[in-house]
Amino acid sequence: MRKEDTDMTVVSKAKLKPGVVTGKEYQTLVQACKEGGYTLPAVNVVGTNSINAVLEAARKNNSDVIIQLSNGGAEFYAGKGFPDSFQAKVLGAVSAAKHVHLMAQHYGVCVVMHTDHANKKLIPWVEALLNHSEQYFRETGRPLFSSHMLDLSEEPLEENLSECARILKRAAAMDISIEIELGITGGEEDGVGSDDDALDNPSLYTQPQDVLQAYELLSPLGHFSVAASFGNVHGVYAPGNVKLRPEILKNSQDLVQATHKTGPKPLNLVFHGGSGSEQSKIEEAMSYGVFKMNIDTDLQFAFAHEIGEYVKKNPKAFQYQIDPETQTPYKKIYDPRKWLRAGEEGMINRLDEAFRVLQSVGKSLAQ
């Protein structure tokens, strides 16, 4: 993010072409979220079923949306039987991005195409995706992805930031943004426990001073967003285990604004591990400039739950092609288009709720 991009001006009435947004269009969308006080759900996808469900739900709610792939989701997209696991992570992500580029414009919403957590081991994955974007950029003038996440929060701060700077230089040259992580988000996905003493552990809470340091190093290089830890955890835990302190986000914004005399909310903030959070804390976080909230666990459950209900309602169709007693053929019921559609509908219904809670309904910039 260059200095002029941080000023809270212009964009509230901006309109964009539907489809994957990158570069300036992506920045316009981020800014519109922060100015408008709303947040876009970022949904982890694993195949065309989940991608199309997200696009359908976004269109239905007239909201823009963020589609993201974890390295595991990308690998699954390429196929579990693909012979080379690293290649599968790369080609699966490229294939998914191309599907979204083609389809999103016809669904009529703006879509941010993003990759999720990449720790130190997975930096080569991100770099391979940048290679693919370079080729796509030469062919079309656009990158494949709007942004990539680099999660080097387990490394010392200096190393985290210098590696982010190195990648951002390369990414920014083709209009790609990055998301960085400062402080460690707890929970299953990262293999970081959520112990009772977590509240006393300063590494679980991002320090505003560190965010300022990131801003000073990265903002001259390109556009970036920050996943800050404020007590959030991945996955769903029993009530009371998630003790959010969104004021950490506000303190970070205020420190950067005061130090560099920027407009309000100079940072682009991301909320990880939001599943199961109290609505009042979500709203508070949103008001501090959170433009992206990751939703994975709840949507996995929504997809699985509806398929489970479908199977419960039609148990025989999952055991017999033709009913052994009545001779009824069950082809119309076991057709994967029926039960996969049930899963998609489960996701769409849960996304309706997400768009509502995140207050993005009716706010698509697509025209």
Q: Quick one: 36 or 235, whose CB is closer to Zn ion?
A: 235
CB of 320 to Zn ion, least distance (A): 43
| Residue 99 touches Zn ion, criterion: CB under 5 A | no
Whole-number minimum distance, CB 117 to Zn ion, in Å? 5
**Is the sign of the CA dihedral 221, 222, 223, 229 positive or negative?**
negative
Neighbours of 199 (CB within 10 A): 12
- DSSP states of 169-229: HHHHTTT-EEEEEES--EETTTTB---GGGGG-GGGB--HHHHHHHHHHHTTT--EEEEE-
Nearest Cα neighbor of 105 from 44, 39, 16, 25 is: 16
223 binds Zn ion (CB under 5 A): no
Q: What is the helix (H) or strand (E) element at residue 111, kind and residue range?
A: strand 110-115
Is 170 an interacting residue with respect to Zn ion (CB under 5 A)?
Answer: no
Residue 148 in contact with Zn ion, rule: CB under 5 A: no
Q: Which is catalytic among the residues 5, 7, 84, 116? A: 116
Q: How many CB atoms lie within 10 A of CB 81?
A: 6
CA distance 361 to 255: 31
d(CA 23, CA 223): 8
Q: Which stretch binds Zn ion (CB under 5 A): 50-58, 105-113, 269-277, 328-336?
A: 269-277
Q: Does the protein bind Zn ion through residue 34 (CB under 5 A)? A: no
Per CB under 5 A, which region of 89-97, 118-126, 272-280, 324-332 contacts Zn ion? Answer: 272-280
Q: In angstroms, rounded to a whole number, what is the distance separating the alpha carbons of residues 340 and 319?
A: 17
Cα(76)–Cα(280) distance, rounded to whole angstroms? 35
CB of 296 to Zn ion, least distance (A): 8
Instruction: Give the separation between CA 118 and CA 6, rounded to whole angstroms.
Output: 26
State the helix-helix crossing angle for 71-78 and 85-107, rounded to 10 degrees: 90
Residue whose C-alpha is closest to residue 168's, from 144, 149, 141, 143: 149
Q: Minimum distance from CB of 234 to Zn ion (Å)?
A: 6
**16 vs 129, which CB is nearer to Zn ion?**
129
Query: Is 196 annotated as catalytic?
Result: no
From the list 217-225, 246-254, 270-278, 345-353, the region that binds Zn ion by CB under 5 A is 270-278
Instruction: Compare residues 55 and 228 and give the one whose CB is closer to Zn ion.
Output: 228
The residue number whose beta carbon is nearest to Zn ion equals 272
Number of residues that bind Zn ion (CB under 5 A): 1
Which CB atom, from 193 or from 220, has the smaller least distance to Zn ion?
193
Among 34, 99, 245, 272, binds Zn ion (CB under 5 A): 272
Kindly state the smallest distance separating residue 37's Cβ from Zn ion, in Å: 23
- CB closer to Zn ion out of 267 and 307: 267
Q: Which two tokens stand for residue 124?
A: 């080569």
Question: Which residue's CB is nearer to Zn ion, number 109 or number 180?
Answer: 180
Least gap, CB of 89 to Zn ion (angstroms): 17
Q: Give the catalytic positions in this structure.
A: 116
Footprint of Zn ion on this chain (CB under 5 A)?
A: 272
